[in-house]
Structures are given as structure tokens and as C-alpha cells.
Structure 1
Amino acid sequence: MNGQVKFIISQKHSSEQIESQEWKKIDRAFKQFVGLDHIKDALKSLAAWAVVNQKRKEFGLKTEKQSHHMLFYGNPGTGKTTAARIMADLLKELNILEKGHLVEAERADLVGEYIGHTAVKTRELIKRAEGGILFIDEAYSLSRGGEKDFGREAIDTLVKHMEDRSGHFICILAGYKREMHGFLRMNTGLKSRFAHILYFPDYSLQDLNTIAVNMFYSKDYQLSRHASERLLRSMREMDDVSGNGRFVRNLTEFIIRSQAVRLLKCEELTKKDCMMISEDDVVKGIEKYKKEKQDQ
């Protein structure tokens, strides 16, 4: 009897450790995802639900049929692709997805040039995505050709396979909010296939600054205190801050190039020199960024 009690306690302790490890994986996956707390919470809960549902199945308990297909609304550069990539990696780590790869697609990858070609292209794309996530950006472009456009065939084929192959791949459709509402009306069964609809708002100025700092850090650069202060102040003063990550990525590249020009004028370089971004690098990088924007 004592041995049996010890065994049960041991098993319970082991189970709690496993569950704790799973949650740590989920929490860790979104550590570098800046801002958008409601998005992180929603995706974390989706992953947790998938893990617990899997455990219930192992215990012989009743489980719900889960749909992980998602709709992402928001402007370009607001983290939609990044969120999809994080989910692909995470669900692979949690053994929910077999491969965990992300297949990015657009209209040209699905729509063919003649009758029957579109269905073939769409099925091939879905096959490539099996075990992972199919991410279709600007999905509303599939509905722009009108009644006789082959985009309708792509939508119909996609809807069918999202139901028939549910559990084998996850489909995420992304695009602007208004355009996506119109797109969903193209097929009566389309909206019902998506259990998770998430809106990605533009980043705040503080979030954009954090993204910039993280980008420098990920590339082994460091901002001096004055450089960091100048960057935030300059971003606040700029007229074309559109609240998205693409703007930040372009800006950091200009600053890094300015640092490179400065460093090559030095006779000798140290490791610290190559890492440090100065205030002057930020000023000149932003000046060049603004000039290029004006010339476009």
C-alpha cells in the first residue's frame, strides 16, 4: 500500500513538472514579442488549450475538435508574420505540429492561369504546408477579380481542405481589417472556419523604440546612452512614423551603415568599437533615411 501511495505521489509530481515545462515553453516563445499584450495572451491560451486537449485525449477523457485556423487583421509591419512564425515554432516544440514550418504565400501562389489550374496550385501549396502553418498575406486579393476570377476557385479549394485536412496544417489569413471583412463574404463557409480572429493594432512609439533596441541587440550592437535618448527623441519628432516594425527595420539599417562609414575612417578598430552605436551614428543615419524618403 505504501509503495502504491509513493508511486501515485511520484506520478503526480512528475505530471506537474511536465505541465510547468510546457507553460514555460509557451511563455518563453513570446518573450521577444514586443507590445500587443492581448495578442500574446490570445496565442498563449490557444497553445495551452491545444496541450491540455492533447493530455485529455491521452487520459481517455472527452475532447473537443479543435480548429487552430486564424485570421490576423492589421496594417503591414504590425507583427502578423512574426506571430505566425512564433506559433509555428512553438506548436512544433509542443508536439502539436509535426514539422512546425511556415509557408508564406500570396495570390500568385494560389491562383492559376486557366480553368482547373488554380485548384491544383492551391492543393500543392496546402500539401507543402502540412505539418506546419500556411500563412497567406493580403488574402483579400483573392477576391479582387470579380465573379469570373480564378481567385474564387482558390478560396473554395482552401475552405474545403481546411475542413478535410484540419489537424494536418493550420491556415492563417492576414490583411487589412476592412478588406478582410469584404473577403470573408466571398464564401459563406469561410468565416466559420476561423475560430480565432485577432486584430493587430499599430505599435506605440515606445514599442517601436523597444523594437529598434532589440534589433540592434540581436545583431550584436549596443546603443550608447546618448544614442538611445537621441533615437527615441528623433522618432518622436518624425512625421512618417507609421506605427509598424518595417519603418524601424529600415531606420536601424541606415544607422548601422552610418556607423560603418565612421568606423572605416578609424586607423584601428576594437571589438567594442564595432559594437557601439554613437549618438552621431543615429543622427546621420536618420538624416540619410529622411533624405531617401524625400527622394522617393
Structure 2
Amino acid sequence: MIGLDEVKELVFQIYATLQVKRFREEAGLLTGSQVYHMIFKGNPGTGKTTVARIMGKIFKSMGVLSKGHMLEVERADLVGEYIGHTALKTRELVKKALGGILFIDEAYSLARGGEKDFGKEAIDCLVKSMEDHKNDFVLILAGYPTEIEDFLQTNPGLPSRFPIQVEFPDYTVAQLIEIANKLASERDYIISPEAIIKIKEHMNQEIQLSLNFSNARFIRNLLEKAIRHHAVRIVRKYNQPTKQDLTKLIPEDFLINDAANSLKSGFSNFA
């Protein structure tokens, strides 16, 4: 993964801790169990979900988790419609997550309804499950940094139950360009140097206009849109395109308005 140096360092710390624990067991030394419930704080598209999946695989390979799968849920999956329903739904999801990771994105949405909201019941049930099954699954709560901090204050027992809190910083422009090239290469496309300039223009504009820039997710969506525009351009211009034609993305493919007009024109000509 590109960037995320602090996250990678933390993952290595956990790996090293588990490895040394194994060495100590083999040497007949005392070993204590650790709790690995985590908080992932960061803006959209910073790799939180991807890292959670990787953590599941690492924990499985090191014998911490028996399955290593990740169950991704949101408020609607946890909160029921009547008294008692929420606890039942939450316990069922915890049961499905045993042996793996239960990942709750935008976890703070559970506390937005106030004291009478059933979301509070879900939080209480999760806290109990973390104690009852502390060695059977890992709970990861993810979301925006400020909202996550506010959420942790809604239940006195929450902060101390998450010994690992990870900050996922926004990607730099250089890292996002690297991500764009990587995503393109994985699809057998090449982004021309001129098109890279156009991508930077789109990024800078989006960062200025958007309150919550979506980082790598923005790049992925931009690239997928460019691939569609590229296809329209190829179909309209070439009867027998070359391999270079089929793989090279140029600035025209990243001109959102012009490409949209080209797309409409293409449909008109086709009709």
C-alpha cells in the first residue's frame, strides 16, 4: 500500500509482539494476552477498510484469530426497531464475527439518536461482547477523527477498551498520483504525463471545494470515469485501434465536461 507509514509501523509492532510472544512460549517464559480492539480515525478513502482486512489475515496467520475474516457492518445492521431487538441483532453479528474482525464504519452514528435511541443499546451490547469474547474477535470502529472522539465520550467504558487507536492521514498529491498510476497499471492502462497534469488540476479543485475530500476513492472514481470516456473516444475515432490507442489515457479522457458532451454526441451518432 502507498503511504500510511505510521499505520505500517503499528502493524509491524503488532506482528513483532505476536512473534516474540511465540518465542517466549517456546522458551518457557511467561506471556500475557493482549487486547487488539482498535479505533481507525481518518477521512474517506484513506485505507481504513483495506487495512482492517489485512489485519484479519495477519491475526489469523499468527494464531490470534481462528478465521481472520472481516464482517463489515453499519448502524442499520445493529439497531433494531423495538426494545430488545437491537441487542439480539448485535449479538448475532458478534457471533458471526467470532474468529475474525467486526468492522463498524461511521460508528458514531450509533450515538446520534440521544439517550432514548436504540443505538445506545447497541453500544452497551458491544461493550459487553468485547468483555465476554475479548480473545475471540477484534472490534474495529472507524470514522472521521472528530466524530470518533465525541463518540468515545458517550460511554465511560469505551475509551479504555480500545488500546490501539490509529490515525489515517490524508494522502499527499504525490501519493495520489502514485495511486492513480498503480490503479491504471493494474487495468493495463498508462496515464500520459499530460493527463497527470489534468488529474492534479481536478484534485486541487476538489480539495478546495469539498469539505471531505475522498482521497484514493476520488482517484479511483476519476480513473474509472476516464476509462469510460477513453472507450467513447476510441470507438468514435478508430476502426482498428492500436495497442497504444487502447492503453493510453490522455488529457481529453479527463476533461469531465468535454468528455460528457462527447459521450452524448457519440450516442446521437450511434442512434
Give the TM-score normalised by structure 1.
0.79
Give runs of aligned pairs for residues 1-296 of structure 1, distance below 5 A.
33-236=1-204, 239-240=208-209, 242=213, 244-265=215-236, 266-282=238-254, 284-285=255-256
Structure 2 Cα separation of the partners of residues 218 and 191 of structure 1: 40
Alpha-carbon offset, residue 228 of structure 1: 3.2
Rounded to whole Å, the distance in 1 between the matches of 2:34 and 2:190 is 44
Query: One-letter code of the match for 1:48?
Result: A
What residue identity is the alignment partner of 1:267?
A: N
Worse overlay, 75-84 or 136-145: 75-84
Gaps of 5+ in 1: 1-32, 290-296
RMSD: 2.1
Answer 1 or 2: higher relative contact order, Cα 8 Å, separation at least 6: 2
Write the deviation string for residues 190-239 of structure 1: whole angstroms up to 9, x where unpaired. 11111101122222111221221121122222223333344335534554
Gap change, CA 1:203 and 1:131, over 3 Å in 2: same
Percent identity over the alignment is 50
CA positional deviation for 1:96: 3.0
Which whole-Å deviations, capped at 9, do the CAs of 1:16-66 have from their partners, x for residues lacking one?
xxxxxxxxxxxxxxxxx2212112111221222123223323433211221
Higher mean displacement: 218-227 or 65-74: 218-227
- Residue range with higher mean Cα deviation, 202-211 or 265-274: 265-274
Q: CA deviation at 1:160?
A: 1.2
Q: 1:264 is paired with a residue of what secondary structure?
A: helix
Give structure 2 stretches of 5+ with no counterpart: 261-271
Distance 1:97 1:286, change over 3 A: farther
How many residues align? The count is 256
